[in-house]
Amino acid sequence: MLQLQVVRDKKDDIINALKKRNIDAAPLIDEVLELDEKRRSTQTALDNTLAESNKLSKEIGILFKTGKAQEANALKEKTGTLKEDSKKLGEELNTIAEELQRALYQIPNVPHESVPSGNTDEDNEEVFKEGEIPVLNTDALPHWELAKKYDIIDFELGVKIAGAGFPVYKGKGARLQRALISYFLDKNTEAGYTEMQVPHLVNEASGFGTGQLPDKEGQMYHVGEDDLYLIPTAEVPVTNLFRGEIVAESDFPICYTAYTPCFRREAGSYGAHVRGLNRLHQFDKVEIVRVENPANSYHALDGMVEHVKNILRELKLPYRILRLCGGDLGFTSALTYDFEVFSTAQDRWLEISSVSNFETYQANRLKLRYKDENGKSQLAHTLNGSSLALPRVLAGILENYQTPDGIQIPEVLVPYCGFDRID
């Protein structure tokens, strides 16, 4: 969330910047500042009441010692009233603080100055494109038909077990899925990311820490009896490893990678554009997460973009990179680049990765700080990216590498698969 002091000092700048998100933030900012003023005045009243109570308590002790019990007892009645007042003020202060926190949670991150204005994904800015789009036979099939033809993914069996959006990978399909996971993890660790294995369920504090709560609560699967959430991405547990921590400046950059299944309700997602692997309730993803010195975070973001580029080059998939406009930007992100692979059989671009800089937005929620060279605590910057999400990468491979006689396997994956084609 935004730092309260920053909201105080840069109210007009924040309101103007959030217009890129098509948000009139003025009423919410005013509410935050009014609650903050109320909180501070209530805190002052509480401090004064406690100070007066402490002063009278000392006077009462002196009066008793000097034999002035009647005067001491008279003051005790007054201290009793002060204690009641301080209790009420303390309760009021807690209520105001909770309201202030809720109001701050509703303000999205301020977009970076490079974020273009816009309302929808049609306003996103293409900043890079690479790779040749293959020319397929006229009888080329979309991946859901290829999966059925070669018996490598069973969508109907997934419906039987769990429901729509839970595919079952079979034979070479399962092996190709496992190969992609291993390949992505190897590429990430070679680039300096430490591999982590993390829980697939998180508590409420973790959801708030990275911004999934309260913004995306309806999109997460909730285990009510234990009050836990199935993770929508490894970003949540990995970033929360640092919740409440103070790291040394010399530790930067902190780079982690993790493979996890991801769970998303995807409420309201219907239509042909979500067929097959295009949108799932459960899918596999390899994530990269960085904790950075603020002075280096945008250089780090550029490095993450180049890293994902290199993976797609090795897979020889045609792709493009979009800088997301304000209206399409995630709630917690300051700047996001989306990677999309072209699906020749579907004749459309499929998003396969988002690489984002959250600046201090998550760190402020997480209370993630570092000591600067002067020994002062500062908020770190957090970044994350998909490297990569498997379903649409797999869809792109199946569709773009299909031939009349089968599906070729990208050369870089053959050592991981143990086979070079599906037929």
pTM for this model (two decimals):
0.93
- What's the whole-number mean pLDDT along residues 92-116? 97
| Shared domain check, 96 and 141 | no
| pLDDT at residue number 268 | 54
Total domain count for the chain? 2
Q: Which of 76, 105, 134 is the last residue of a domain?
A: 105
| pLDDT at residue number 272 | 53
pLDDT higher than threshold 70 for residue 324: yes
| Shared domain check, 220 and 358 | yes
Look up the domain containing 29 and give its range.
Answer: 4-105
Taking alpha carbons only, the member of 357, 248, 241 closest to residue 305 is 357
| pLDDT at residue number 40 | 97
| pLDDT at residue number 73 | 80
| Shared domain check, 147 and 91 | no
Q: Which residues are annotated as a binding site?
A: 233, 264-266, 287, 351-354, 384
| pLDDT at residue number 65 | 83
Q: Is residue 110 in a domain?
A: no
> What is the number of other CB atoms lying within 10 angstroms of the CB of residue 171?
12
| Shared domain check, 126 and 90 | no
Q: Which of 78, 105, 132 is the last residue of a domain?
A: 105
Q: Is residue 115 in a domain?
A: no
Please write the tens of the pLDDT for every residue from 143-202: 999 999 999 999 999 999 999 999 999 999 999 999 999 999 999 999 999 999 999 999
Task: Indicate which CATH number applies to the domain containing 62.
Answer: 1.10.287.40
Task: Indicate which CATH number applies to the domain containing 137.
Answer: 3.30.930.10
| Shared domain check, 98 and 125 | no
pLDDT higher than threshold 60 for residue 251: yes
Please write the tens of the pLDDT for every residue from 260-279: 999 999 865 555 567 899 99
Q: Which residues are annotated as a binding site for ATP?
A: 264-266, 351-354
Give the pLDDT band (50/70/90) at residue 57.
confident
Please write the tens of the pLDDT for every residue from 66-79: 887 778 787 888 88
| Shared domain check, 127 and 98 | no
pLDDT higher than threshold 90 for residue 34: yes
Q: Which residues are annotated as a binding site for L-serine?
A: 233, 264, 287, 384
Q: Is residue 239 in a domain?
A: yes
| Shared domain check, 95 and 193 | no
| pLDDT at residue number 273 | 63
| Shared domain check, 373 and 279 | yes
**Mean pLDDT, the chain, integer:** 95
| pLDDT at residue number 271 | 55
Q: Which of 73, 105, 137 is the last residue of a domain?
A: 105
Please write the tens of the pLDDT for every residue from 109-136: 999 999 999 999 999 999 999 999 999 8
Q: Is residue 113 in a domain?
A: no
Q: Is residue 307 in a domain?
A: yes
Query: Reduced to 3 states, what is the DSSP secondary structure of residue 125?
Result: strand
